[in-house]
Amino acid sequence: MRGSARFAACASFGLLLFGGVAPQYLDRISADSLRGHLSFLASDLLEGRATPSRGLDLAAEYIAAQFRRAGLQPGSKDSYFQQADFLEVSRNNDGFQFQIKGEDKTLTLDKDQVTGYPGAALSLDSVSIFKVTKENAEKISVEGRVVAIEGDRNRALLAVLQKLKPALVLSFQKEKNAFRGPVAQLIEVGQASPEPPQTFLTVNGPDAASLISKLPAGETGAKVTVHFSAPVQKAVKVRNVVAVIPGSDAVLKNTYVLLTAHYDHLGMSSSGDSDRIYNGANDDGSGTVSVIEIATALATRPHSKRSIVFMTFFGEERGLLGSRYYGRHPLFPLAKTVAQINLEQLGRTDDSNGPEIAAATFTGFEFSDIPKIFEAAGNETGVKVHQTKNSDEFFARSDNQALADLGVPAHTLAVAYDFPDYHKVSDEWEKIDYANMAKIDRMIALGVEMLADNAEVPHWNSANPKTESYRKARGE
């Protein structure tokens, strides 16, 4: 069964199962409980949960303790942890020098104003800067050169630059205390060493941003001097946290629905500001505590036919590290994983496009029939599950992408894609709308149960050309 017939069957499934009455176990999902979990995970004690860090380890132990308390089975043999061994290649500031010389002004920056992690020693003296914009990016040759862009969130432009192979990319962020980025690269031990990464550095502060903004596109006349010593290396251990509710059906228990979120965030700024901690309450503490709360509620009901896996990933903010690691080392067969529902940014309703109250959306809304199942769950719980104009744009920006690339029907469910405190130290637990988040979580719990109890499996939408690579990976 494909296309609209499949969508109609999925949408009606919840109504047939529950007769329009939501199960009582949903009432166990509590705004107060969510607040309690998040006030710890997003507290200053955890120092922003960077990957790797002491705060991240504390968060992992807390999540495992909640899974244990709820009576969930460990997901990795007899452990709640899937341990991953990585090599951390860290920036070396010995001999650091960074200077930009414009026509009438020279800026000398200290190490805390420049972030990034050169993959090798870097030594450039008075090299010309070429300014790249979205208008000239496709028309130029910058291989081996130093290029500059304004702002650090223009992903489309960065993707173009990756193909052009410049020697150095400089991104200029005018906010003094904007997120300053990791100062290390993480490489999985045992993996083939990747090619030396294209060096990407972010320059923070209004003076440098103003200097670059006044320069023309293309050849600028400005010159940069940059010196970094060779990076240093050390072994680190990081962990995905995994639990499972085994299925009850003799056959379907060997198939799996994944409910996931990332529990890491950005760590701490090296600035001298009074607040240096990126607490990450909404991104993605809200998704993490929702996984905990939903798992705790579902553990109290008779088991669904399929097994339900609850997982929180490390390293999403470092490039989907935890989810891609899981994809290379799955604890449950990917061919038997029928869906991944990844949770991001569920706690804030003040989306930049307008308030989102009792509403949620999926990235890649029309990529598979999964969103239609949750529309049915939303109808029964008073939540509007709807498509937004930018749902496709955000598909690749969270941990669903890692498993989608391997063929698993996977989406990220969110309330607000963009909110005022995104990647800022002001993303704190006191700003979360807990009553609304509890309502959203009840809808999610019901949708997960509908997936886990339905003998029909979700499929990628064959009519959508954007799903071609995912369908091929799935063998559809």
Indicate if the pLDDT at residue 452 is higher than 80: yes
59 or 164, which is more confident: 59
Which residue has better confidence, 9 or 472? 472
Q: What is the mean pLDDT of residues 370-395?
A: 95
> Across residues 314-340, what is the average pLDDT?
97
Question: If you average pLDDT over every residue of the chain, what do you get?
Answer: 90
pLDDT recorded at residue 1: 29
On the question of pLDDT at 106 being above 80, the answer is yes
Domain 3-87+235-474 class in CATH: alpha beta
Q: What CATH number does the domain located at 88-233 have?
A: 3.50.30.30
Residue 8 pLDDT > 50:
no
pLDDT higher than 70, residue 27: yes
What's the pLDDT score for residue 200? 82
Q: How confident is the model at residue 176 (pLDDT cuts 50, 70, 90)?
A: low
Highest mean pLDDT among 33-47, 179-193, 209-223: 33-47
Is the per-residue pLDDT at 473 higher than 90?
yes
* 3-state SS record for the chain: CCHHHHHHHHHHHHHHHHCCCCCHHHHHCCHHHHHHHHHHHCCHHHCCCCCCCHHHHHHHHHHHHHHHHCCCEECECCECEEEEEEEEEEEEEEEEEEEEECCCCEEECCHHHEEECCCCCEEEEEEEEEECCCCCHHHCCCCCCEEEEECCCCHHHHHHHHHHCCCEEEEEECCCCCCCCCCEEEEECCCCCCCCCCEEEEEECHHHHHHHHCCCCEEEEEEEEEEEEEEEEEEEEEEEEEEEECCCCCCHHHCEEEEEEECCCCEECCCCCCCCEECCHHHHHHHHHHHHHHHHHHCCCCCCCCEEEEEEECCHHHCCHHHHHHHHCCCCCHHHEEEEEEECCCCCCEECCEECCCEEEECCCCCECHHHHHHHHHHHHCCEECCCCCCCCCHHHCCHHHHHCCCCCEEEEECCCCCCCCCCCCCCHHHCCHHHHHHHHHHHHHHHHHHHHCCCCCCECCCCHHHHHHHHHHCC
Listed by start position, the domains of the chain span 3-87+235-474, 88-233
Lowest mean pLDDT among 106-110, 117-121, 231-235: 117-121
Q: Would 3-87+235-474 and 88-233 be classified into the same CATH topology?
A: no
Window from 228-232, 325-329, 379-383, 400-404 with minimum mean pLDDT: 228-232
